[in-house]
Amino acid sequence: MNIAVVASIAMILATIAIHFGVLWSMSATLLVGRKRNPGLVLLAIIGVFGAHLIEIALYAATYAWLINSANVGNLQGLASTTFMDYF
């Protein structure tokens, strides 16, 4: 199987696992009691945003690895490549 396909499947599974873990831990933590609290909603938004940043960084690291180490194509038009080019 192609390394890019394996990396794609692994990233999809990692994304699902990260989303599940963050949402599960937030629901267990934030849904204690039945009262409404706007501060908890803000905390949930920050938690989901943090999860997305982790996933974006993971995808960027995977792209960097595929291009630099696994030699699976490249990004055209870049004069130099740093981690932030993938991020």
Q: State pLDDT tens for residues 8-23.
A: 999 999 999 999 999 9
- pLDDT at residue number 77: 65
Phi then psi for 53, rounded to 5 degrees? -65, -40
Is the pLDDT confidence value at 1 over 90? no
Please tell me the total count of domains within the chain.
Answer: 1
**Burial degree of 74 (CB within 10 A; 0-12, 13-18, 19+):** exposed
How would DSSP label each residue in 8-33?
Answer: HHHHHHHHHHHHHHHHHHHHHHHTSS
Domain residues for the domain of 8 are 3-86
Q: What is the model's pTM?
A: 0.74
Q: What dihedral do alpha carbons 24, 30, 35, 38 form, nearest 10°?
A: -120
pLDDT digits (tens, 9 = 90+) for 21-62: 999 988 887 777 767 777 888 888 999 999 999 999 999 999
Q: Is the pLDDT assigned to residue 72 strictly greater than 90?
A: no
